[in-house]
Structure 1
């Protein structure tokens, strides 16, 4: 999520800003931050330039950027005529995470301490602050003692009116869970950088989880079953396929599972609507998306190149991949052809309407069933009435409408939403229509499965749906065999 900025500095204003900052901050505390209030960033990095600008802060900054995290430094990205203090404080508000590298001279900088005060204010609104105690003790930061305290005392004599709020901020940040540079990873700074990046990615994934409807009913038990299947062999790449009819909630289920697992993986990808997208744009474009999501740099122009890149470049990456709406063996082959493509412990979730697509290369298959009648009424009521059960005057009509959906979540959601706020007359007319034909949105969704059938299979489907309801199927098989429909090959 990197953004190119056009930078223009007015020489007079830049010199004034520089002089003002030098007067206030001899230690030249620098921050990686937003340049204007209109820009949003992942991380605000606060540090003492005197201590860490060319060492740890630089390594951490570049590591974050290489991981695809949106961070930048104020000394490179200040716009013309803007007050540096205002910019930096606004940047904190517009960032999701702040990292403060609390080093010996951090407290000798008015700018660093002002940034710290703003960070603690933003915690109340969900902002995450991650402190790194760089060659200082957390207790020295909390109580302003030792070399850290000496630097703070010198600054305090100059800006006595700000001392109390600085102390409160230092106490609060020192109480947060962070890292001590000399104790984390045995003091190896390169390893500490990796630990911090992993934590940042984990926090960002919480903010960028896949969007799932809040009106979920009866899904927890199924989610636990899928998680157990995915964890069946932690030392190997585990591929689990979820299959079922259109509109039954396969994608929603897979998204919930993905969100449950996402903070365990540095690399993840959600390839949506593969059936349609591969036909419209080509499978190689979806391969490019997967390569990009896994932080690859290659671009491919055909499926074979995509397979070659995926097979050779990601063996050392443990990944979480969700392949949504697959309808062909070749699609699975194009994305995850063999279990050895990724590091052991990788997890891959596939959704499909067609069970036989999962016959090759998938560890486990799970058929998603319609939801029970009592759960159907709850889901329907949440969309129709914004509550778990219908009011008395709509109870009978609600039961009748729910009975037409066959426990299909899509139908319950669509029909419930369409009836929300309507009078009983409208409900009665809708019920009469539903008893004859499904709702249009539901019908369009179900037609996808029908349209994908071969000509003979369509005939068999229509015979079953229209003529052989409740009949002995042996008679039907005799007829289909006589018509050369190869009914025994049907799924």
Structure 2
């Protein structure tokens, strides 16, 4: 990538600047006779392919006449401008008027990218070489309007002093790739900043991930992000994907792998991964496949195997960024990203999961353990959802702390609870907080329950026993009790830790559990029979226990 090094303007406007929503991401300024049907045509095509909305003027517009008000509006309504400075650029008074307007609108925001296409930046800056010939004609033609010519010279000098791309000694295809990548990253980065509230408390985790990504390598890397449901794994994965996806030939974010796989649609994810490579050809390939094997013996398993072979054949020589979000089974990994040799040098595969054991099984040694938010970050995230600002409103601080304490740093819970009390008065807040002590929010419980549902029967029993009776006890004592009950305590405890349902306090060697995870366990048992405590498998509430003894409603096992 060839860059001139005069100075690097700040691309993004400061957060306090206000401006109307732009209609275009990019305004293209160029000399038609030099580049319209060659360089600019290819650049425009690639920008459009990447979803970058680009203004390129109609070729039927007559050059040499006064610049139209429509073009002025297009410049004003664009996020940034790409100025393609070619040998004959300065010969057009239209281009020079356009450039003057671009500088007036965008230079204060630092959103101009010059591309020196077969010209020396110094010729542009000093109006020498072909630019000198053009200005000799302008001086003659516009001798009655020397101020206009002076503005043009100033504009060329200013744009030549900006950091940009130089085509000298650069393959044109690579030059276009670099320009598009740079523009996409800048435009997309702005979009991310507009929604930064959702990233409260992610700074530390992002720093951890940055350390994992800090040393680029030609090796294929697998990285795991694991933690319990609702802790923010997917948010982190999106953050990483948005930040680095432009560095790869192929980028794909496959969301909800567990859920899609359970519906029997793993082939859909395989095709989603392949679609950026095969594009329009992929429909034809799949149609041919279906024609060849469309009989009663054709099974979903065979389809998945066929797609797996296509993935390996298509991606083995490409630098790929692949995010597999919420992976729960080894078979999902085996069908989507089985081995390192499926991907080209420098590829990166990131897996989010609730099951650390899955990462170990696939020899994924580089991992990031996502932990709960600290009190300050938790309060800020709750406030953004409850008040749409960073801090609680006057009179709501203690109530807010009550909800934050209940959520115990779980981002999902903080967001859901903040939305529940948004725009409600203090009486309603107190009422909701009181209800939370009795009946947990079903949305939170149902999401956390996904991890429990994936356990075998023995580990379900171990999980519920720990939640009801053994939380905070030493690991050795818990294992001893479980073993006496015919349960495999050591294996079960380790499995639940890897599923993010239990944690270990290393300093005391005790078995711990997130409070919301424990409430989920209590709710699971309550749902066994919501009306009669005596028909439930376990009891720990004093009132429920008294009710069972007084009324002799104990469950018959």
For this structure pair, what is the TM-score category when the shorter chain's length is used for normalisation?
A: 0.7 to 0.9
**What is the rounded CA distance, in whole Å, between the counterparts of 2:241 and 2:318 in structure 1?**
17
Relative to structure 1, is the Cα distance of residues 332 and 92 closer, same or farther in structure 2, using a 3 angstrom cutoff?
farther
The offset of 1:437, in angstroms, is 2.7
> SS where residue 219 of structure 2 aligns?
coil
Structure 2 partner of 1:154 = 137
Structure 2 partner of 1:166 = 152
Structure 2 partner of 1:178 = 164
TM-score by length of 1: 0.77
> SS where residue 83 of structure 2 aligns?
strand
The offset of 1:99, in angstroms, is 2.8
Matches within 5 A, 1:40-439: 43-58=26-41, 60-61=43-44, 74=57, 85=68, 88-93=71-76, 95-123=78-106, 128-155=111-138, 157-158=140-141, 160=145, 162-182=148-168, 184-185=169-170, 188-207=171-190, 213-231=196-214, 234-280=217-263, 282-293=265-276, 297-299=281-283, 301=286, 302-358=303-359, 359-386=361-388, 390=392, 393-439=395-441
CA contact (8 A) 1:230 1:238 kept: no
Between structure 1 and structure 2, the one with the greater Rg is: 2
- What are the Cα deviations for residues 120-160 of structure 1, in whole angstroms up to 9, with x where unaligned? 34426968432222333323323433321321342465463
CA contact (8 A) 2:84 2:115 kept: yes
- What are the Cα deviations for residues 178-197 of structure 1, in whole angstroms up to 9, with x where unaligned? 23333x43xx5455444434
CA contact (8 A) 1:64 1:197 kept: yes
CA contact (8 A) 1:267 1:320 kept: yes
Relative to structure 1, is the Cα distance of residues 414 and 164 closer, same or farther in structure 2, using a 3 angstrom cutoff?
farther
CA contact (8 A) 2:197 2:384 kept: no
CA contact (8 A) 1:230 1:347 kept: no
**What is the rounded CA distance, in whole Å, between the counterparts of 2:24 and 2:136 in structure 1?**
33
CA contact (8 A) 1:370 1:407 kept: yes
Name the Cα RMSD after superposition.
3.8
Relative to structure 1, is the Cα distance of residues 92 and 310 closer, same or farther in structure 2, using a 3 angstrom cutoff?
farther
- What are the Cα deviations for residues 433-466 of structure 1, in whole angstroms up to 9, with x where unaligned? 1112322332232132233334444343333333
1:466 correspondence with 2:468: yes
TM-score by length of 2: 0.68
Relative to structure 1, is the Cα distance of residues 157 and 330 closer, same or farther in structure 2, using a 3 angstrom cutoff?
farther
Structure 1 unaligned blocks of 5 or more: 1-37
Relative to structure 1, is the Cα distance of residues 313 and 276 closer, same or farther in structure 2, using a 3 angstrom cutoff?
same
**What is the rounded CA distance, in whole Å, between the counterparts of 2:181 and 2:395 in structure 1?**
54
**What is the rounded CA distance, in whole Å, between the counterparts of 1:50 and 1:314 in structure 2?**
39
**What is the rounded CA distance, in whole Å, between the counterparts of 1:233 and 1:50 in structure 2?**
42
